Amino acid sequence: MIHVIEKQTGQAFKLKKGQKLKVIDPQGEQVSDMVLFNAEDVREKISSGKTLDFEESILISSGNYLWSNRSRKMMKILEDTNGRNDFLLAPCSPETFKIMYNNPDYHPSCFENLYSSLRPFGIEPDDVPTAFNIFMNVQFDSQGKLSVDPPLSKAGDYVLFEAQIDLIVALTACSAEDSNNGSFKPIHYEILED
């Protein structure tokens, strides 16, 4: 069963240990921010710092694990047909649009979509960590300068994850113009049994 995350929205759900999650870019060039929490104790959550440390890489793709702040494996990446994801940048938030886009008006954001989806699980806005940004194309040069470029993902590209513990997962269809080449599109996902 394909679940649809409409453009500029988010969803949260439980994923059992051993279940697989397939996150699909149905039209291409669309980012999905993902955060993870231990379903038994939400103080344990996905950590970019722990993941980059244990995986010894800025770029995280097939074969890599996503680690928690308690140094435990939360997900394994089984397949990645696109191969480019980001784990450096925080989810876009209202301040992102004010500060970086010079837009003082209301703008939907991954941060709002993540914390709104996670509220039923008792997770507060301050508890939302840096997300694993699926399909996000953040380039860096040798001096560390970062640029957010259009995603390289094409229609139908997907990343397949396997839960290593019982999880609460939140996913978005990213709301930031720079992350999806200025055109907001949906994200699809499927939960596959072990």
Query: Least distance to its own copies from the beta carbon of 138, Å?
Result: 9
| Per-residue CA distances from 115 to 61, 91, 120, 143, 182 (Å) | 25, 11, 9, 34, 23
Cα 67 off chain centre by: 14
Q: Which residues bind to its own copies, rule: CB under 8 A?
A: 43-44, 47-50, 52-54, 56-59, 69-71, 88-91, 93, 95-96, 99-100, 124, 126, 128-131, 140, 142-147
Query: Least distance to its own copies from the beta carbon of 193, Å?
Result: 30
Q: What residues contact 152, with CB distance under 8 A and at least 6 apart?
A: 82, 83, 84, 135, 137
Nearer to its own copies, 62 or 155 (CB): 62
Residue 126 token pair:
């301050």
Nearer to its own copies, 52 or 78 (CB): 52
Query: Least distance to its own copies from the beta carbon of 66, Å?
Result: 13
Q: What residues contact 142, with CB distance under 8 A and at least 6 apart?
A: none
Query: Least distance to its own copies from the beta carbon of 75, Å?
Result: 17
